[in-house]
Structure 1
Amino acid sequence: MYLLDETWLPFSNLMLKHIYNVLLICSDYDRFTLEEDGRVEEELYKEYTQLGLSNPPKISHTNNPDEALSMINRLNFDLVITMLDLKSNKVEKLAEEIKKIKYSMPIIALSPSPDHRKARVLKGENCPYIDYLFYWQGNASLFLAMIKLIEDRMNIEHDTKEADVQVIILVEDSVRFISSYLPQMYTCLIQQNRSSILEALNEWGKTLRMRGRPKIVLARTYKEASDLFYRYRENILGVIADVSFPSEKGKEKAGIELLKEIKNVDKEIPVLIQSRDIRYKEEAEENGADFLYKLSETLLQDLSDHFIKRYNFGPFNVIDPDTGKTVATADTMRGVQSLIKTMDIRSFVYHSRRNDFSRWLRAQSLYRLAGMIKGINLNDRESAEETREKLYRTIRDYRLRRARGVIAEFSLSRYDETLHFSRIGKGSMGGKGRGLAFLSLEMLSSSLAEKYDSVNLSIPRTVVITTELFDTFMEENNLKSLQFCEESDEEILRLFLSKKIPDGLKEDLVEILKVTTDPLSIRSSSLLEDSHFHPFAGVYETCMLSNRGSFSSRLEALEMAIKTVWASTYFSRARVYLKSTDHTLEEEKMAVIIQQITGSAHSSLFFPSISGVARSLNYYPAPGQEREDGVGLLSFGFGKMIVDEGTGFRFCPAKPKKPSMNLSGVETSPQSSFYALDLSGTFNPASDIDNLKRIKIEEAYEKYPEALKNIASSFDSSGFMRECVDKTSVNMLTFNGILKYESLPLAKIVNDTLKLGEKAMAEPVEIEFAVNTQSEKPEFTILQLRPISELTKESSIEVKEEEKEGAIVFSDMVMGNGNFENIMDIVTIDPHLFKAKDMAMMASELRHFNSKIGSDYILISAGRLGSSDPWLGIPCSWSDISNARVIAEASVADVVAEPSQGTHFFQNMTSLGAIYLTVQGKMGKSFVDFKKLESMNVIERSSHFMHIKSDKPLIVKADGKNQMAVVKEEKDD
């Protein structure tokens, strides 16, 4: 079973045996003819590189037969080619001596004339030591054909079984015609092969498909031909036979007898009979064969025409059965799929009865699909229209399957709904794009899709605009100097929006929009994004597009969104984050991901049923759970609720039926609103970059109850709970239908995906995902895979319970390990001045202190930092507290600090080595001694914060493994 692209994976196992070293025994003049006039080695190099092989045959030369024997003894040769004229030496005697040294060594003899005396002798004696005899006139194409013929013989047995590779049998005993036919036949095959590789989705696929061309085998007697035919009967593409060649029944008309035998077995196999005697034409055609006149002045062209006509090389031609004329053509699988749907039913019946669809697909090296198609025949049980529809669906489904797990190169002529992951340009796909491509491949290689066949499990349909286009845009618009300027984000965005994207990219975007009418997410994928130690989570912009309206307005919105993501490379948030790493702005490049959004439309709104974030490692496991069980957060609507605000329903992927929402054990989500995309709105990056609308959850209960099936529960006046929305009762988000009753195996899918990602990356991972329960088959799409740093590994640091005494801060919910002894500054919330309603204004105060201190300090804040919901915490950005080395999120007044593991803010802080403490006060053993803080040296107060300068160095000890941390002043000696 082939799990990857079925059109190319088998070919990676083909043509495994090659000719690498050739010994040429000839005069110095013949060698000159080969190397200089024939340019043989140059042609061999071209041929091998097209096959993806790095080592074309190396030709060694000697003009001395004795030296040749010595070289064969000492060196490793795969083929010997010798001229017939070897001074006084007999070539047959030399061949015998070579076979004594290495019996399997193929030997080819070259004659300067088909009527050469020795050639006639060798042919008459049928020398057993010479494998093939050719007529040589210095043409490089024959040299290539000889090597191909040997390689085909070496690989045919394996390749026909491995990938159903086709076989052409040439039955001929004339040295002159063998030497003329083989180069022409191989030229036809290579030309067709180069045409068929266009079906491959990327360069690697094209390279591999070059290995799948049909094989040619040479027979010189009736017995050889008959044996080859029956051995490869299921793989025969065609037979080309002379009328006269050696046979036990007599040489005369041996080809006609062979023709009858073949047609008696399979009437559909194309046979070409060739002869110097034109009188055999009628008899050949009477027996269902074509005829080739050997004395024709266009002999080789006639041979090529036969290949095109009978082997279905070239485009597929739709024939009108009444007139015999071509009425339509297609030269790709996509085109043939379309023609099947639209051609006149009489033409469909005509081609179906002749197996033309299957034959054409075989000619494109689409052997597996051709075999599937061949089994779909016209019959009495179904109408021609039903057969047509079945054939159409078979090709469409095949194209869909083969695109899974493959990064296709974007092509205007090939892009359609069957391509799942495409890239534009030759540059990097960036960290996020790379992670998605890797996950797609891993999922396909695993059994996840088969295990959960009731769910459409995949990544979203994706096109990645690589960093090459970013570079082109920057160069064409003279924007490279931006890395040195200090323009505001608004000015940078305005500048980027005023510039023109590359012309070629605009053509690609037009094609994308022709195919895709669903809402789109335009996401960043920088070179450094989602790296192991610096995730850049939420640092760059993401734009959501409704993809509605006129085509021109859709294209304009898409262009603006791409330029907005590019511009965010230079926004202040990105600059500050980069300064905290070892990288510079000059190193950063931006790829852009265009993704189809998972979800469904509800009136004028579009949103997913569920969005989620999950980690394979839970830093704060609830009782009965292990760290390795992982943790997840679910929200209704878009995931902005989780990654920006940290609000969601917490669950354990390995043990979903056990409550893990929060420490109070309440099994309902704190989510009071949700995010949706307004399909009636227009995209304006200057005012609303992400383009999402925040809506009260009550509106969903009222207007979209169907979207909340298995997500919401209702409680009547008696406290009885039902798993549905009831407008007369109290409704809450519980996700019971999903997690407890498994209407959708979400927890199992998440758990298996985390395990898959962790195994593939060899470290803990995080995924973001979206679910659409409203489609005919539920959709689970994975939006992102990133590695996460293990912040709680074994540490030599030990924090003892007794160290709580005299501590300024003590926490039993800790992330990170550290032991700091030289921090002098603390920025802390003033609990007396704190008011939850003021949290939206507090970010500017933090920004002031962060800039003023300019070095490591300890930050004690209220609620969840970085939350975009000002009632849950302070909506600051990472750059506002970038110098904080230790962060304590404390419960103050009615604001409870719940540990956050899914926000972008949290990922960036922890990845940069900040020690993260959660202090829940009355709900646990942890505390902040605000009285002690007030007694210390307060050097500045703001509306809500105090800046304290300690008289003694502050000691911070954090043991993430055992969940203990303490902050205290250094003791006096």
Structure 2
Amino acid sequence: MNRFGDMKARFSGIHDLMKFRVTEILLISTAYDAYVLEEDGMLIEQIYHHFNDLSIPFIPRIHWVADGEDAWEELKLRPIHLIITMSRISDMSSFEVETKIHEAYPNIPIVMLSYDRLTPEIIARIRAISCIDRVFHWSGDNKVLVAIIKYIEDKQNVEADSKLGVQAILLVDDSPAYYSQILPTIYTEILTQTRYLVLHAMNIKHGLLRVRLRPKILLAETYEEAMEIISKYRHNLLGIISDVRFPKNGVLHPQAGIELNKIVRENIPDLPFLLQSEEAENAAKAEALRLDFLNKNSPKLLQNIRTYILENYGFGSFVFKYPDGRVIDKATDITNLERIIRDLPDASLYYHAKKNDFSRWFRARAEVEVADRLRFVDTENVSSAADIRAYILKVLNGYFQKYQSGLVLAFEGLSKKDMENAFIKLGTGSLGGKARGVAFMNGMIAKAQLADKYEDMKIKVPRSFVIGSDAFEKFIEENKLYSFLATGPTEAEIAQKFTASPLPAGTKENLLVLTQYIKCPLAVRSSSILEDSRILPFAGIYNTYVVPNCHADPEIRVKQLEDAVKLVYASVFYAAPVQYAKNADIRIEEEKMAVLIQELVGEHYGDYYYPAISGVAQSYNFYPYDPLKPEDGIVSLALGLGKAIVEGERVYRFSPAYPKLNPLVSGPKEYLEKSQHAFYAINFKDSADITLRADEDYIYKKLLISQAHKDQSLEYIGSTYSVENDCIYDNIYQQGPKLVTFAPILKYNRLPLRQIIKDLLGLGKQSFGTDVEIEFAVNIPKDKSKPKEFNFLQIRPMVVGREAFEVNMDEPEAFWCFSHHTIGNGSYQNIHDIIFVDPADFNLQNSVQIANEIGELNQVLIREGRRCILVGFGRMGTADRWLGIPLTWEQMSRAMIIVEVDLKNLRPEPSLGSHFFHNLTATGMGYFHIQYDNQAAGMLDWEWLLNQPVLQQTKFVKLVRRQEPFRAKIDGRSFKGIIYK
């Protein structure tokens, strides 16, 4: 039975375990007895420490009363979960109170705690009183109180929890004095084991699950009680500890324990069974039956029981032995266990498998599914130890894959093995928006079983590590950076101050360990608590830094990683996010930054490192053309790193619904001209000694497509242009210039890329309840024996904004701009300003200066608190100055509407996959695209605009303002937009 086989069952089932908790205890005793328990025994302190260090929020509270009248009042005031009575044996009449309470509240367990000497006659008299569930002996050790609480909880919860795989230890003994000693000893070992397991849990939820899955202790005082428990919970028992003499058929039976063992051996032959007795002659009987035996009279009895539990119930380390008892090695955790098993001598492997030790060890760790699979290793019929070893390793490998797939693991205590294919959190606090989206989809990919769906490609999330947002707050506070920021420093000064400030000690130590385990390039990305939210994405507003992580000196590697983290922290306070937050009426002080560290996807090609394919896919297409529909989505693909896509450069676009449909170009020659000419790679030449800078570009190298051809990385994505025939061949083996078309994949399906994208967009859209955008990278290893990998990098919800309301566009007012290619929905009013690039002076050679001049006029509007319409040529916000105007967010932050205008020799595709474009739509800005020489699709009245009153102008840019506001409307249903005169 797969009790915890999927993510939901494993962790969401936490709340279905241990539903009954003892949180309110009513103590009926004399004032002196209460004082003895409370003060001399330090009861509250003992209970607190036992519960608090296991992160159990239900710490019991004790309400003391001296008599029955006060007890009735307490029972009326609050729900009571356990009643402990300390009635004196000499005054048996006092049980009248307990009897009446039991009649009125039959579901509240009543336990008697006595420090009188309990003779067999007295015990018999107490057991005759039906209101008393159990009697315990108080010897001055306050641990018995904790044992009573846990025993009552176990007794109430075992029936429900056993169905979820919880294990149990059965203690069979009829002596209250004895089991009052033994139960605390067993519980101490169980709680010690549980604390150990919590420390080695994969995350907080896994730790809580292990607390609630801890083995229960069941107590039987008679043969019949024991047999009922064994029959009911035979598949849940870790072991039995039994006296030899106890009641059977209503009378003391001198061999009851031995008869009980006989029945158990017939039904559960591998179950650990410990006999114990005060009669020394029973030792010989146990030896004859090859049973473990302990003498109750031994001065080392409690110590011997602890040793027995550790050796037989799978607690503590797994001790590998030869059959003759010689110790070979110890495994402290599951990773070490797997490592040792690989080289374990056959004799030892067979010995432990036959004794079912592997299954028991996992069962003690609450890994029920693994324990069940290992329990059925058939040592009798398996042909060789090699087959046993292979089966065990297969089960363990499945365990690692299952737990690492789709879960956020806690970093502390993890080994290198644990870090394979995992999403790991360092420290506490929020994951932030970006990391949260990746972690969520990591889980959804595992749950939907997509990882190995396609034979030709593995779907995965690259190894990811998140520094929680608490580290950011601690970093700011410890270095007193808010007071520094209040002085209004420049971005360069912020970067310098932050990189000179030390990270919190715990964060620094985690990064040191991380660089020791991970030896590949790392991308250090922002993951703020506001980032990639459903209403405000902050896409590309914060910086991402690449760390080569290849220096021979580990101190330099960790220093580079630390600097990258600090620079991500610093970017919170740069101009772009500050202005972006102001536009959204958010105080930047509300922002908290987590940091996502991901393995950078790619292959080494000499001094360069890059993936074969990077991509951005959107489930909604703002610019469909026949036969495409908006809901078909759109995908942007690029050779090399995704920087080319998110910064709005030339890339390849296609619809997953029509992958073979060629771009809208007039012919092969134009196809060549408009295709991707260059790509981004990481430059590893001399990069080991780099000093990280705030501008992010310290390590990137822009290379020509011819370099990729030399690297032999175009096989799956390249085509050849034939100058002689003016045609394109869908391979790279012809003579002629190479271009990036992705034809081998999209036309001939050499890789199932389209199908994977459709799967992930569908999964994301269903999970988020809205349209989504995903980023990914495809690695095609040079080593053909290695699998190809589709690496899921990021997801964010799209703000489509077309559902709000229908906009009336039929008003008979004169307009100066209209377009059938718009984004947005609604009416835009109270705009008195327009910033536009003068068409008479525009030249792409001046695009960088034009961007700066727009930023200068934007500052005027920032100071005055005004918004504007921004009109420019080509692609706005692109990083490629030859495609348009390379604006940064802070340079155009006051724009409410952006108008991109094509020219005869400047007609780039709209920047659908760019961060700039995504933030534009998410912040509710309007967008107009005016195509060249197509007045039916859109037009702009330049003559009217040039005659508007100029408030201020620079060399290439003008700011016009008038008293009457400009008014604009965009209908998101028809993609039609108008700006009225």
What TM-score do you get using the length of structure 2 for normalisation?
0.90
Question: Does the alignment pair 1:672 with 2:672?
Answer: no
Query: Aligned-pair distance for 1:526?
Result: 2.6
Give the AA of the match of 1:945. Answer: V
Distance in 2, matches of 1:80 and 1:453, equals: 62
Give the AA of the match of 1:844. Answer: N
Question: Does the alignment pair 1:693 with 2:704?
Answer: no
Distance in 2, matches of 1:46 and 1:296, equals: 30
Measured at CA, do residues 664 and 612 of structure 1 come closer, stay the same or move farther in structure 2, by a change above 3 Å?
A: farther
Structure 1 match to 2:855: 847
Match of 1:545 among 531, 544, 547: 547
* Contact 1:292-1:299 at 8 Å conserved across structures: yes
Query: Aligned-pair distance for 1:861?
Result: 0.6
* Contact 1:5-1:404 at 8 Å conserved across structures: no
Structure 2 match to 1:910: 921
Measured at CA, do residues 113 and 664 of structure 1 come closer, stay the same or move farther in structure 2, by a change above 3 Å?
A: farther
Structure 2 match to 1:757: 764
Structure 2 match to 1:863: 874
Distance in 1, matches of 2:27 and 2:64, equals: 5
Question: Does the alignment pair 1:599 with 2:609?
Answer: no
Structure 1 match to 2:614: 611
Structure 1 match to 2:774: 767
Structure 1 match to 2:843: 835
Structure 2 match to 1:800: 810
Alignment of 1:11-90 (within 5 A): 11-41=14-44, 43-49=46-52, 54-65=57-68, 76-85=79-88, 90=93
Measured at CA, do residues 381 and 139 of structure 1 come closer, stay the same or move farther in structure 2, by a change above 3 Å?
A: closer
* Contact 2:201-2:410 at 8 Å conserved across structures: no
Structure 2 match to 1:241: 242
Distance in 2, matches of 1:349 and 1:87, equals: 58
* Contact 2:659-2:754 at 8 Å conserved across structures: no
Distance in 2, matches of 1:825 and 1:19, equals: 69
Query: Aligned-pair distance for 1:596?
Result: 0.6
Structure 2 match to 1:351: 352
CA RMSD of aligned residues (A): 3.4
Alignment of 1:116-195 (within 5 A): 119-122=122-125, 126-137=128-139, 139-163=141-165, 165-195=166-196
Measured at CA, do residues 385 and 549 of structure 1 come closer, stay the same or move farther in structure 2, by a change above 3 Å?
A: farther
Distance in 1, matches of 2:923 and 2:228, equals: 71
Give the AA of the match of 2:613. Answer: I
Structure 2 match to 1:628: 631
Alignment of 1:341-420 (within 5 A): 341-376=342-377, 383-385=384-386, 387-411=388-412, 414=415, 416-418=418-420, 420=422
Deviations 1:663-687 (A, max 9, x none): 8799887222111122334034339
Give the AA of the match of 2:714. Answer: L
* Contact 1:263-1:288 at 8 Å conserved across structures: no
Alignment of 1:246-645 (within 5 A): 246-248=247-249, 251-319=253-321, 324-376=325-377, 383-385=384-386, 387-411=388-412, 414=415, 416-418=418-420, 420-449=422-451, 455-552=457-554, 553-645=556-648
Measured at CA, do residues 792 and 121 of structure 1 come closer, stay the same or move farther in structure 2, by a change above 3 Å?
A: closer
Query: Aligned-pair distance for 1:112?
Result: 3.2
* Contact 2:320-2:330 at 8 Å conserved across structures: yes
Question: Does the alignment pair 1:887 with 2:892?
Answer: no
Deviations 1:675-724 (A, max 9, x none): 11223340343396242211112332x2244x334423446566776543
Query: Aligned-pair distance for 1:229?
Result: 2.3
Query: Aligned-pair distance for 1:533?
Result: 3.7
2:594 is paired with a residue of what secondary structure? strand
* Contact 1:460-1:596 at 8 Å conserved across structures: yes
* Contact 1:17-1:154 at 8 Å conserved across structures: yes
* Contact 1:897-1:918 at 8 Å conserved across structures: no
Query: Aligned-pair distance for 1:453?
Result: 7.2
Distance in 2, matches of 1:153 and 1:738, equals: 62
Deviations 1:147-173 (A, max 9, x none): 32222222222222212x222111111
Query: Aligned-pair distance for 1:595?
Result: 0.4
* Contact 2:835-2:871 at 8 Å conserved across structures: yes
Distance in 1, matches of 2:421 and 2:746, equals: 33
Distance in 2, matches of 1:266 and 1:885, equals: 75
Structure 2 match to 1:659: 661
Give the AA of the match of 1:763. Answer: T
Give the AA of the match of 2:880. Answer: D
Deviations 1:510-559 (A, max 9, x none): 22122212221111223332234432222222112333231434333323
2:884 is paired with a residue of what secondary structure? coil
Distance in 2, matches of 1:523 and 1:223, equals: 64
2:164 is paired with a residue of what secondary structure? helix
Further displaced range: 707-716 or 399-408: 707-716
Query: Aligned-pair distance for 1:874?
Result: 1.0
2:253 is paired with a residue of what secondary structure? coil
* Contact 2:433-2:528 at 8 Å conserved across structures: yes
* Contact 2:25-2:84 at 8 Å conserved across structures: yes
Identity %: 33
Query: Aligned-pair distance for 1:863?
Result: 0.4
Match of 2:742 among 721, 728, 735: 735
Distance in 2, matches of 1:662 and 1:848, equals: 37
Query: Aligned-pair distance for 1:292?
Result: 1.4
Structure 1 match to 2:6: 3
Distance in 2, matches of 1:699 and 1:615, equals: 30
* Contact 2:492-2:694 at 8 Å conserved across structures: no
Distance in 1, matches of 2:828 and 2:215, equals: 70
Question: Does the alignment pair 1:113 with 2:116?
Answer: yes
Give the AA of the match of 2:217. Answer: I
Deviations 1:460-502 (A, max 9, x none): 2111123333344444545433322444433433444444444
Distance in 1, matches of 2:498 and 2:82, equals: 61
Distance in 1, matches of 2:772 and 2:369, equals: 37
* Contact 1:537-1:908 at 8 Å conserved across structures: yes
Question: Does the alignment pair 1:928 with 2:977?
Answer: no
* Contact 2:421-2:461 at 8 Å conserved across structures: no
Question: Does the alignment pair 1:812 with 2:820?
Answer: yes
Give the AA of the match of 1:307. Answer: I
Measured at CA, do residues 115 and 622 of structure 1 come closer, stay the same or move farther in structure 2, by a change above 3 Å?
A: same
Measured at CA, do residues 380 and 242 of structure 1 come closer, stay the same or move farther in structure 2, by a change above 3 Å?
A: closer
1:514 is paired with a residue of what secondary structure? helix
1:540 is paired with a residue of what secondary structure? coil
Distance in 1, matches of 2:475 and 2:112, equals: 59
Query: Aligned-pair distance for 1:880?
Result: 1.5
Distance in 2, matches of 1:120 and 1:791, equals: 77
Q: Which runs of 5+ in 1 are unaligned?
A: none
Structure 2 match to 1:782: 792
Structure 2 match to 1:650: 653
Query: Aligned-pair distance for 1:452?
Result: 5.2
Query: Aligned-pair distance for 1:639?
Result: 0.9
2:754 is paired with a residue of what secondary structure? helix
* Contact 2:705-2:738 at 8 Å conserved across structures: no
Further displaced range: 465-474 or 912-921: 465-474
1:921 is paired with a residue of what secondary structure? coil
Distance in 1, matches of 2:911 and 2:320, equals: 63
Distance in 1, matches of 2:942 and 2:72, equals: 94
